[in-house]
Structure 1
Amino acid sequence: MNAHFGETYAESWARDYVLAPLGGRTVVQALADGENAKTVWRAVCQVEDVSSKLR
């Protein structure tokens, strides 16, 4: 996420942005709930235009 958003914004985005593919949870909430990091990253890629190099 740091490579895509930048270090400061990545932290804020992960904490504040609610993702439908994660059941209406944020990245932070999903990871705290035990969701697999790859699953979370795939959800981020679904809602953001992440470079193919970072996918």
Structure 2
Amino acid sequence: MRNREFWQLVDEVFGPAYGRTLIREQVLPRLDDRTPAQALEAGVDPRDVWHALCDALDVPDTQRWGADKHRQAPPRR
């Protein structure tokens, strides 16, 4: 997953305003108690950040990949 795709999914799944707040403020134990923004800045793969955020917020797999029904979900590591 590229950074651009990560941000598109943040906007689609959480909405632009709430999504940006989550990225700046949601501390995730799975990311060594960093926010998604801190993890991305530290070089963590955007896919791993995305999964950690969605898992923490109990986003169902069916809603994790936005509105494009033809988009194939990248494999989890």
Structure 1 residue runs of 4 or more that deviate by more than 2 Å after TM superposition: none
Q: Using the aligned pairs only, state the percent identity.
A: 35
TM-score calculated relative to the size of structure 1:
0.87
Aligned pairs, how many?
55
Structure 1: which 5+ residue stretches go unaligned?
Answer: none
Q: How high is the TM-score relative to the length of structure 2?
A: 0.65
Higher gyration radius (CA): 2
SS in 1 for 2:59: coil
Equivalent position to 1:18, from 27, 49, 52: 27
Structure 2 stretches of 5 or more lacking a match? 1-9, 66-77
